[in-house]
Amino acid sequence: MNKFLPFLILALILTLIPPVGSSANTTAIQLGSDALFNQFHHLIEGKKVGLITNQTGLNSQMVSTIDILRRDRSVHLTALYAPEHGLDGKTVAGKQVTSFVHPVYAIPVYGLSGSTRKPTPEMLKDIDILLVDLQDIGSRTYTYISTLQYAMIAAKEQGKEVMVLDRPNPLGGTIVEGPVVELPYRSFIGVDTLPLAHGMTIGELALFFNRTIGVDLTVIPMQGYTRNMIYQQTGLAWIPSSPHIPNLTSVFGYMATGLGEGTPIRQGDHFTWIGAEGLDSHKYADLLNGSLLPGVIFIPENKGTAGGVRLQINDLHQFNPAKTGIYALAYAKQLQPFPMPKSTSMQISMFDKVMGTNKIGLLLEQGKSPQEIVSSYEADLKKFIELRQKYLIYGDEPFIPLQPIQQKQPKQPKQPEQPKPSKPEKPVTPTPPQPGNKNGTTNQTKKPEPATKPIPQTPKSSEKIAYLTFDDGPSSVTPRVLDTLKTHQVKATFFIVGREVAGHEAILKRIVAEGHGVGGHSYSHNYQLVYKNMESFFADVEKGSQMIEKATGVKPTVFRYPGGSTNTVSLKYQDPKLYNKQHTVMQAIKAEAQQRGYTFIDWNVTNGDARSNKYTAAQTLANIKQQVKSQKEIVVLMHDSSTKSPTAEALPEIISYLKEKGYRFEVIQSDHPTVSNVK
């Protein structure tokens, strides 16, 4: 028997070790926490970190952000902060979340629910940056976003940075519904002018909140996320966010069944049933089903002496939780009249806090139909939708986080004549291949010679230069861009996709004839092809370069990486036989580019038109204004492909704004190295 003992012990150990890696292989997105540690780690290096989180703070591989920080020797995790329901998510709603010293981590855990909802100066004194990693459920009344807003205010008061690691809105980002909070009715379940269903991620909400707070804010976006994506499409496992939200069915039912605070109408079975004592279940179901609310069927079901309906959601994309909740209240009131809770000058009723106004309660008391109630807040809802637009990160295309989203507030120096310089981001240094590596330097070529020798640009110390750049053309949009540039006597640089040259040769010749710069941007712009390996990349780039030279007679001397030099999408397509996370295809490409003498150009300002094809000219201008501070040199990323008409529309105002800021405009040249690493 003894000789089998080691094998039995080994078998027992193996059963106790959870499987790893499967989660990362099946997720359609990467979370903000993934992007922070894989791509933007330099932002927290050397800092004392406080973390607002709970049991939902896991990355796409189900590893706790707490554990990742504790193992990271380049940062110092000094404090944890727990929202409602506590660090483990098991504290019942409304109960005080206490503060304590963690028995394992030996650091303070501060409760931010109950009597202390806003971090005190004492709680923040030992940190440099406050990280937030919480999974919201898409409802304005869910207090995790309230904790975020309170923490941002406290951080602003104490001069601390805030960084939000973005996570999905489980309901998606297209359903925006419900009454908007009015100022007198703000509370811990309504901290800002949000409707019941806001349709924003927690990162987008942070940007929205910051319009009135002004804290130094960084949002680390998700990779691969789209605006219409619901949680079930992310491939992520759902971690119960609180005791009554054990699964995604509860998430979708939360607003549909949980709006009756202070009335006889109540929810049941974790927000999957709604009803009241004495209510006729069948009449209630008939009214609700007769309203033809999208994506849901109502099944009559009694619970003891209470009548009600169970929600059977059959189309999660069409289902509108907040509107369904309004209809459920209105029809219940019609079937069983009951007095509505009233707010007074001394106390706001919980029902009015949930609604963010007293108007809904008054309309219900008057016996108004659900259609009339919904119509009553449509004007305010429209205003909110317009207001939130500038704070949205994600569009219809999978998002690629090329850089963090930062709202840095200008410092207030003691002497206005000597403002403090902004803190530069840590550059990303490529790792060259090791000698003898099969991915190393091959087929070295000389640096392409320009058609005419450029005049070196040496800006005076007081000058500010803007380099306007347009990617992915030429197209039918490009002539509109050129017309504007000509009208304003401004020069720009166009990074050409080789496959777009055929049929647009005349546009390319016009670009060159009017004194603009022409750069290469690959032939195919196909990430799967160009980032398979180093050889594929340079073959594609050279093919594009040849197409440009054939059409214009000018061989490009500057280039732009598809996705930028710090893209992470290349990791998805790199040949696993040749590359890994320690030695990536981008590292090999950048080392080879240096050997070949290629000058690759990044950017430090973008108008945001890469995020989606559904955007407005006003949004692009707002993005520029948000990012342009007092930089001496800016490279502005824009696009002139066929779907980017709003960019051409906004260009005159962008040029005028940059001129007002004191910038002159130049073409990018290969012998001016500063612009190659401004990103």
What are the residue numbers of the active site? 471, 639
β-pair partners for 310:
273, 299
Q: Which position has the token pair 């955007």?
A: 615
Q: How far apart are CA 593 and CA 534, in angstroms?
A: 10
Least Cα distance to 393 among 217, 569, 535, 559 occurs for 217
Q: How far apart are CA 227 and CA 475, in angstroms?
A: 27
Q: How far apart are CA 269 and CA 245, in angstroms?
A: 10
Longest dimension (CA), the chain: 91
Q: How far apart are CA 284 and CA 260, in angstroms?
A: 15
Four-point Cα dihedral 195, 200, 201, 204, nearest 10: -100
Q: How far apart are CA 249 and CA 276, in angstroms?
A: 21
Indicate the pairing of strand 633-639 with strand 663-665: unpaired
Least Cα distance to 667 among 516, 476, 458 occurs for 516
Distances in Å between the alpha carbon of 421 and those of 409, 428, 634? Answer: 12, 21, 16
Q: Which position has the token pair 């709003």?
A: 646
β-pair partners for 465:
633, 664
Q: How far apart are CA 483 and CA 495, in angstroms?
A: 18
What φ, ψ does residue 162 adopt, rounded to 5°? -125, 135
Q: How far apart are CA 203 and CA 164, in angstroms?
A: 6
Q: Under a CB-based contact definition with an 8 Å cutoff, are residues 335 and 287 in contact?
A: yes
Q: Under a CB-based contact definition with an 8 Å cutoff, are residues 281 and 203 in contact?
A: no
Least Cα distance to 319 among 299, 281, 301, 292 occurs for 292
* b/e burial code for range 129-162 (CB count within 10 A of at least 16 → b): bbbbbbbbbbbbbbbbbbbbbbbbbbbbebebbb
Helix axes 534-552 and 585-596, enclosed angle (nearest 10): 50
Q: How far apart are CA 331 and CA 308, in angstroms?
A: 11
Q: Under a CB-based contact definition with an 8 Å cutoff, are residues 124 and 153 in contact?
A: no
Least Cα distance to 407 among 389, 390, 429, 420 occurs for 390
Q: Where are the alpha helices (DSSP H) in 265-318?
A: 281-290
Dihedral of CA 7/8/10/15: which sign?
positive
Q: How far apart are CA 14 and CA 543, in angstroms?
A: 52
Q: How far apart are CA 11 and CA 36, in angstroms?
A: 36
How many CB atoms within 10 Å of residue 570?
22
